[in-house]
């Protein structure tokens, strides 16, 4: 019997780069949440390890040995087989954790299929800085090089987003190299609770995505996307991760859906989705 696990889109509501270690890894401080859209991973018993990719974004991703799904499977070092299918719904290399979420979902699914414990923290982190938080699957403050996860105040009810990708790719390593400064201040202290979506947005407006300016320098269309989202009246507009996906934050899904309809109509070449922000892991 196949086991299916969701791989929800990851959003960096704020992302500060606070330093760089001697080994080259960047130190981060980020508020991470997840949306109720994303990819899906299914696994089934098989004699060998194989990967098939389906879905509307499948053409942008190869199923070779360097695919994060296969790398995640090999992290078990279990010498077991499985037939893995990745339903790819998120744009590839778009700053919303698609690859990392896929790897995390693969780890979860194979642990159930093979009845094995998850690989250790060090092995998980080698798959990518976002994989530990995607494996946890709940809102968190992510720091260090991605290994330190701390709980955050409950998110306001009904929080929603519009995600917009202009169909351009920016390479994460190149964005980090283009940073003018790598020793930026950390996030401000979070309150014990956010009264509502406006309260959360007010706090977020005092934070940043330190990668945004560098990404815009490489792909100026990101600035146009941000301006276009802002025109729909969100509480906050920002780029996620290293781009090129940007988001608008709204107090209700109805508001986000209306904005998405407007954006998709005006820019049919862009990838546009409205989504609810998840307050707990999605199965």
Catalytic residues, which ones?
10, 130
Q: What is the C-alpha R_g of the chain? A: 18
Stated as kind and residue range, the H or E segment containing 86 is strand 82-87
Say if strands 271-278 and 26-45 run parallel, antiparallel, or are unpaired: antiparallel
Instruction: Specify whether the CB–CB gap between 264 and 230 falls below 8 A.
Output: no
Stated as kind and residue range, the H or E segment containing 173 is helix 172-177
Q: Which two tokens stand for residue 149?
A: 């996860």
Phi-psi region of 199 (alpha: psi -120 to 50; beta: other; left: phi over 0): alpha
Quote the crossing angle between the two packed helices 221-230 and 253-266, to the nearest 10°: 130
Q: From CA 202, how far away is CA 218, in angstroms rounded? A: 29
> Of 105, 83, 88, which is closest to residue 39 (Cα–Cα)?
88
Place of tokens 């990392």: 100
Q: Which two tokens stand for residue 104?
A: 């995390």
Stated as kind and residue range, the H or E segment containing 115 is none
Q: From CA 102, how far away is CA 125, in angstroms rounded? A: 14
């Amino acid at each position: 019997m196949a086991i299916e696990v969701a791989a929800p889109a990851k959003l960096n509501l704020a992302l500060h780069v606070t330093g760089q270690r001697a080994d080259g890894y960047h130190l981060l401080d980020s508020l991470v949440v997840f949306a109720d859209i994303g990819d899906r991973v299914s696994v089934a018993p098989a004699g060998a390890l194989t990967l098939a990719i389906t879905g509307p974004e499948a053409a942008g991703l190869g199923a070779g040995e360097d695919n994060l799904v296969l790398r995640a499977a090999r992290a078990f070092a279990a010498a077991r087989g499985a037939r893995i299918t990745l339903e790819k719904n998120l744009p590839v290399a778009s700053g919303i954790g698609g690859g990392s979420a896929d790897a995390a979902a693969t780890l979860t699914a194979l642990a159930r299929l093979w009845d094995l414990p998850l690989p250790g923290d060090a092995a998980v982190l080698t798959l990518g800085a976002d994989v530990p938080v995607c494996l946890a699957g709940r809102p968190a403050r992510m720091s260090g090089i991605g290994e330190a996860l701390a709980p955050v105040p409950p998110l306001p009810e009904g929080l929603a987003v519009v995600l917009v990708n202009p169909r351009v790719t920016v390479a994460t390593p190149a964005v980090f190299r283009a940073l003018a400064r790598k020793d930026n201040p950390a996030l401000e202290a979070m309150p014990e609770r956010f009264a509502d979506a406006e309260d959360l947005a007010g706090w977020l407006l005092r934070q940043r995505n330190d990668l945004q300016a560098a990404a815009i320098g490489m792909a100026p269309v990101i600035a146009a996307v941000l301006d276009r989202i802002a025109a729909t009246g969100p509480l906050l507009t920002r780029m996620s991760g290293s781009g090129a996906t940007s988001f608008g934050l709204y107090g209700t899904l109805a508001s986000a859906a209306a904005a998405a309809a407007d954006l998709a109509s005006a820019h049919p070449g862009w990838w546009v989705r409205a989504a609810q922000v998840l307050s707990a892991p999605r199965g």
